[in-house]
Chain A
Amino acid sequence: AQSVAQPEDQVNVAEGNPLTVKCTYSVSGNPYLFWYVQYPNRGLQFLLKYITGDNLVKGSYGFEAEFNKSQTSFHLKKPSALVSDSALYFCAVRDRDAGNNRKLIWGLGTSLAVNP
């Protein structure tokens, strides 16, 4: 069965420090991986995705994520956090080889708080 785990409910970092939001996944085939961000009382915004190719994916707002097949991880990173990055972050996975089963599987979310 497909699953996504975001092991940290909350991550706290100081502004200017690097941030990492963790995500691990389980799929039977090859994964498509996604990160979305949700600001308070807003919908979800697409940040970046891994489909194939380079393991380091760059996305919106200076975020990047590294696909690690051996560790089945897709951690979200940013070299220097901003207070405005404070939001809820969701990791999602789809099994590329699932045929008609194209449903995204979502993590429970990680709340990122960047302190000034």
Chain B
Amino acid sequence: DAGVTQSPTHLIKTRGQHVTLRCSPISGHKSVSWYQQVLGQGPQFIFQYYEKEERGRGNFPDRFSARQFPNYSSELNVNALLLGDSALYLCASSSLPGNTIYFGEGSWLTVV
């Protein structure tokens, strides 16, 4: 069975641009979470979605938004990119909120 898949794997954007990252959860999983991991640090929680509704939000500015689709896939959008947004963005899925989460390989975002 396929695990959590994310796209793109790597991308480079310039300051001020917008980026959309995509995630497909493990088949049968209805909850998706997004994390930001800066080099040398642990993952920082951004959002959790379940059944297309936001269930949790971390301490990130409004430039960050997300949504979940009827097929449980998800998008993370970041507007007005800053250099500090350069990070590995991880998507994780679980069957239900609160259950064990399984991560994708991440999307490496570099903002120049």
Contact = CB atoms under 8 A, between A and B. Distances in A.
A42 B43 CA distance: 13
B100 A107 contact: no
A25 interface: no
Given A94-B98, A102-B98, A108 B41 contact: yes
A42 B105 contact: yes
Contacts of A32: 98
Contact of B103 (A43, A103, A107, A108): A43
A109 B102 CA distance: 17
Contacts of B97: 102
Interface in B85-112: 90, 92, 97-98, 100-106
A89 B73 CA distance: 27
A34 B98 contact: no
Contacts of A100: 55
Give the one of A36, A94, A104 with max B CB within 10 A. A104
22 contacts: A42-B106, A43-B4, A43-B90, A43-B104, A43-B105, A43-B106, A46-B100, A46-B101, A46-B102, A90-B43, A94-B98, A100-B55, A101-B56, A102-B48, A102-B55, A102-B97, A103-B45, A103-B56, A104-B45, A107-B42, A108-B41, A109-B41
A1 to B, nearest CB: 13
